Amino acid sequence: MKKIAFKVNGVARSYSGNPDMPLLWYLRDELHLTGTKFGCGKGLCGACTVHLDGEAVRSCITSMKSVAGKKIVTIEGLSAKGDHPLQKAWKELSVPQCGYCQSGQLMQGAALLKEKPKPTDQEIDDAMQGNICRCGTYERIREGIKQAAGVKS
């Protein structure tokens, strides 16, 4: 089998297994990066969100063959010390409730802030629409993104 080369959180990796295997399983089962969660398995809930070359993607529907030559960042790679502005805001505002979806929420929010450093409420709502929170912490998620962006409420 052909080796697929890529980077995960800045570390060069290669994979020579089933090219159709979802990236999520590689991250969790082979690298033991369990911060990225399995939710629906269909790319609908956002729990498995990671960055692929800076873009938020659903790792449960991203095949290993599609990551060739790319850079992947997981929640573990967002900030080595857990001090990304979103992570700080999440702590200060007590955003999580059960926490299951939060790594996906953070990764989606980080991609938004990279694209739009000072997003409006509508831009936040639009960007976060595909990330489901069973606990309904959407207002706190929006406030956390705004705080990280330095946008007044």
CATH value of 4-78 in 3.40.50.11600, 3.10.20.30, 3.30.70.20, 3.40.50.2020? 3.10.20.30
Backbone phi and psi for residue 39, each to the nearest 5 degrees, phi listed first:
-120, -85
pLDDT band for position 139 (50/70/90)?
very high
Distance CA 89, CA 75 (A): 15
What pLDDT was estimated at residue 52? 98
- Domain ranges in the chain? 4-78, 85-149
The arithmetic mean of pLDDT across residues 118-147, rounded, is: 96
Three-state DSSP class for residue 7: strand
Q: How many helices (H) and strands (E) does the chain have?
A: 6, 5
pTM score: 0.95
Q: Is the pLDDT of residue 103 over 80?
A: yes
Residue 60 has pLDDT above 90, yes or no: yes
Q: At what angle do helices 102-115 and 85-93 cross, to 10 degrees?
A: 130
Q: Average pLDDT over the chain, rounded to whole?
A: 96
Query: Is 112 a residue whose pLDDT tops 90?
Result: yes
What's the pLDDT at 40?
95
The reported pLDDT for the residue numbered 2 is 87
Q: Region 126-153: what's the mean pLDDT? A: 94
Find where tokens 């030559």 sit. 69
Fold classified for 85-149: DNA polymerase; domain 1 (1.10.150)
Question: Which contacts qualify for 50-55: CB closer than 8 Å, 24 or more apart?
Answer: 50/23, 50/74, 50/75, 50/107, 51/107, 51/110, 51/111, 54/111, 54/114, 55/111
pLDDT at position 152, please? 79
Q: What's residue 38's pLDDT?
A: 97
